[in-house]
Structure 1
Amino acid sequence: MSKPATVRFRHNQALLAAAIIAFIGALPLANARAYLVPVLLVPLAVGIWAWRAGTDVDARELRVRALVGQRRIPWERVVELATDPRGRAVARLDDGQQVVLPAVRGDDLPRLVSATGQALPDASAQ
Structure 2
Amino acid sequence: MDSPARLRMSRTALFPVGLLALCVIPLAFSAPWTPVLLLIPLVVALWVLRVGVDVSDDGLTIRAAFGQRRVPWTSVAGIRVAQRGDLWLVTTAGTELKLPVMRARDLPQLAALSGGRIEVPPPPA
TM-score between the two structures when normalised by the length of structure 2: 0.86
Query: What runs of 5+ residues in structure 2 fail to find an aligned partner?
Result: none
| Secondary structure, counterpart of 2:35 in structure 1 | helix
| Counterpart mapping for 1:41-60 below 5 A | 41-60=39-58
- How many residues align? The count is 122
Counterpart in the other structure of 1:20: 18
> Does the Cα contact within 8 Å between 2:52 and 2:101 map onto a contact in 1?
yes
Counterpart in the other structure of 1:99: 97
TM-score between the two structures when normalised by the length of structure 1: 0.85
CA-atom RMSD, angstroms? 2.1
Give the superposition deviation at 1:43: 1.3
Counterpart in the other structure of 2:36: 38
> Does the Cα contact within 8 Å between 1:23 and 1:40 map onto a contact in 2?
yes
Structure scoring higher RCO (CA < 8 A, sep ≥ 6) equals 1
Query: What runs of 5+ residues in structure 1 fail to find an aligned partner?
Result: none
- For 2:115, which of 105, 111, 117 is the aligned residue? 117
More helix by share: 1
Q: Measure the CA separation in 1 of the matches of 2:102 and 2:121.
A: 22
